Amino acid sequence: MLVAGDIGGTKTDLAIFSSKAGPLAPIAQERVHSTDYPSLQAIVKEFLRKAKTPVDRACFAVAGPVIGGRVKTTNLPWAIEDTSLAEELNLNIKSVQLINDLEAIARAVPILRPSDVQTINAGEPVPRGAIAVIAPGTGLGESFLAWDGMRYVAHSSEGGHSDFAPADERQVRLLEYMFKIFDHVSFEHVCSGIGIPHLYRFLRDMERIPETPGISRLVDSAPDPSVVIINHAFVEANPSRLCAATIELFASILAAEAGNLALKFLATGGVYIAGGVAVHALRAIKEPTFIQRFRRKGRFAELMGRIPIQVVTSPAGLAGAAACGLEAQTA
């Protein structure tokens, strides 16, 4: 039996899997708020105590670079080490794995079912072509898959922390605004759960898009302002003009960076967009302007139009961690 987890800055998904049922059929599952706990060990021990199911292996996908069995989470004050984690869980060190969260999502891509995705652009996928993955959650993750002659192999990266490159005059003004806050402005700063409030305040303070005082106070006081902004952007009766403009700007930046990834990896096998923010902002991603922004790559616009784009709507990070752990079990 395997306990697997997808550990993010906002939420942690845990589940127990068996090699017989596979990585898409959890036996027990739970979601908790990451910041409610002092450590990953505390979350896992509580989950296993509730599940009352003994496990002999563990695999956790963590938001942060995993090097030598250690990772310092990017958006949590945690340092995780496979050795100490194995001791806490009473498991053999060889049976505990830590992998990057985007590597986990990439590992899940080959086993996704049609019900796990929504197609934004059908395109013309090239068999065994490279696949790019971009995931705006609390932060922004990026990864890719390459065919090694027998199967797809997932590779992690920290591309979300690369320099933000504005794609139009408004985004140039956004970059200038962000330089007043940060010495280094990354795509994560403007294309993630922690980035959406920056977009909101830029449009409110610099472009003077009006906002009702009540919503503005909610945004400024909320533990997760991006949730408030997304919810008020899509209210059917009376959507907030400022919130709607914020999500529109977010989607345009996401489209441009997804296109950048597609070019860097020549992702003729497709681009997969994952992450909780993408799922909640799906309505904006479905707008025709998203594909237009994605394709706007000069002489390569025609090639970009042939690249499939899918939004992953299921917990792919958890499935990928499970696939990794179960694969190690049978190796």
User: What are the residues whose beta carbons fall under 8 Å from the beta carbon of 234, sequence distance 6 or more?
Assistant: 244, 247, 283
pLDDT of residue 3: 95
Indicate the pTM of the whole model: 0.93
Superfamily of domain 2-107+316-330: ATPase, nucleotide binding domain (3.30.420.40)
**Where do the structural domains in the chain lie, given as residue ranges?**
2-107+316-330, 113-313
Q: Which long-range contacts (CB under 8 A, 24 or more apart) does 208-211 make?
A: 209/241, 209/242, 209/245, 210/241, 210/242, 211/240, 211/241, 211/242, 211/243
Q: Per residue of the chain (331 residues), give pLDDT as tens.
A: 999 999 988 899 999 999 999 999 999 999 999 999 999 999 999 999 999 998 999 999 998 889 999 999 888 899 999 998 998 888 877 889 999 999 999 999 999 999 999 999 999 999 999 999 999 999 999 999 999 999 999 998 999 999 999 999 999 999 999 999 999 999 999 999 999 999 999 999 999 999 989 999 999 999 899 999 999 999 888 889 999 999 999 999 999 999 999 999 999 999 999 999 999 999 999 999 999 999 999 999 999 999 999 999 998 999 999 999 998 765 5
* Amino acid identity at 186: S
Tokens of 288: 């025709």
Tokens of 134: 């971009």
Does the 113-313 domain belong in CATH 3.30.70.240? no
CA 121 to CA 308: how far, in whole Å? 5
The DSSP result for 240-258, as a single string, is -HHHHHHHHHHHHHHHHHH
CA 278 to CA 291: how far, in whole Å? 15
Tokens of 238: 């009376």
CA 204 to CA 198: how far, in whole Å? 10
Give the chain's end-to-end CA distance (angstroms, integer). 15
Whether the Cβ atoms of residue 13 and residue 31 lie closer than 8 Å to each other: yes
pLDDT of residue 91: 81
The DSSP result for 219-283, as a single string, is HHH-SSHHHHHHHHHS-SSS--HHHHHHHHHHHHHHHHHHHHHHHHTT-TTEEEE-SHHHHHTHH
